[in-house]
Amino acid sequence: MDVLRIGLIGAGRIGKIHGENSARFIPGARLEGIADIAMQEEQQTWAKGLGVRLISAHPQDILGDPAIDAVLICSATDTHADLISAAAAAGKHIFCEKPIDLSVPRVKAALAAVKKAGVTLQIGFNRRFDRTFKRIRELTLAGEIGDVQLIKITSRDPAPPPQAYVAVSGGIFMDMMIHDFDMARFQAGSEITQVYAMGAVLIDPEIGEAGDLDTAIVSLTFANGALGVIDNSRKAVYGYDQRVEVFGSRGATRGENETADQVTLATASGLVSAKPLHFFLERYQGAYRAELASFVDAVLHHRSPEVSGEDGLENMYAALAAGKSLKEKRPVSIDEVRVE
Contact range with a copy of itself by CB under 8 A, out of 53-61, 102-110, 144-152, 160-168: 144-152
Residues facing 333 on adjacent strands? 194
Nearest distance from C-beta of residue 40 to a copy of itself, angstroms: 20
Nearest distance from C-beta of residue 255 to a copy of itself, angstroms: 5
Residues near 233 by Cβ (< 8 Å), separated by ≥ 6? Answer: 156, 157, 203, 214, 215, 241
d(CA 204, CA 156): 15
154 part of the interface to a copy of itself, by CB under 8 A: yes
45 part of the interface to a copy of itself, by CB under 8 A: no
89 part of the interface to a copy of itself, by CB under 8 A: no
277 part of the interface to a copy of itself, by CB under 8 A: no
* Binding residues for a copy of itself restricted to 210-249, rule: CB under 8 A: 215-217, 219, 221, 225-229, 231, 233, 235-239, 241, 247, 249
* Binding residues for a copy of itself restricted to 162-201, rule: CB under 8 A: 196, 198-200
Q: In what order do the strands lie in the sheet with 70-73?
A: 54-56, 29-35, 4-9, 70-73, 93-96, 121-123
282 part of the interface to a copy of itself, by CB under 8 A: no
254 part of the interface to a copy of itself, by CB under 8 A: yes
Nearest distance from C-beta of residue 242 to a copy of itself, angstroms: 10
Pairing of strands 192-200, 148-156: unpaired
d(CA 178, CA 186): 12
| Maximum Cα–Cα distance across the chain | 67
Size of the site for a copy of itself (CB under 8 A): 68
d(CA 120, CA 242): 29
Asked if residue 234 lies in contact with residue 173, where contact means CB atoms within 8 angstroms, the answer is no
Among 162, 262, 302, 304, binds a copy of itself (CB under 8 A): 262
Contact range with a copy of itself by CB under 8 A, out of 3-11, 30-38, 149-157, 314-322: 149-157
d(CA 254, CA 318): 24
| Residue placing its CB nearer to a copy of itself in the complex, 35 or 213 | 213
Residues near 50 by Cβ (< 8 Å), separated by ≥ 6? Answer: 19, 20, 23, 24, 31, 34
Nearest distance from C-beta of residue 307 to a copy of itself, angstroms: 20
Among 156, 179, 185, 289, binds a copy of itself (CB under 8 A): 156
| Residue placing its CB nearer to a copy of itself in the complex, 165 or 238 | 238
Compute CA distances 41 → 6, 27, 57, 100, whole Å.
Answer: 22, 28, 11, 28
| Residue placing its CB nearer to a copy of itself in the complex, 120 or 155 | 155
Among 1, 112, 272, 281, binds a copy of itself (CB under 8 A): 272
Nearest Cα to Cα of residue 142 among 217, 251, 254: 251
Contact range with a copy of itself by CB under 8 A, out of 60-68, 109-117, 255-263, 316-324: 255-263
Nearest Cα to Cα of residue 109 among 67, 74, 81: 81
Asked if residue 7 lies in contact with residue 70, where contact means CB atoms within 8 angstroms, the answer is yes
Q: Which residues of the chain form contacts with a copy of itself (CB under 8 A)?
A: 24, 131-132, 135-136, 139, 144-145, 147, 149-150, 152, 154, 156, 196, 198-200, 202-203, 215-217, 219, 221, 225-229, 231, 233, 235-239, 241, 247, 249-258, 260-275, 329-331
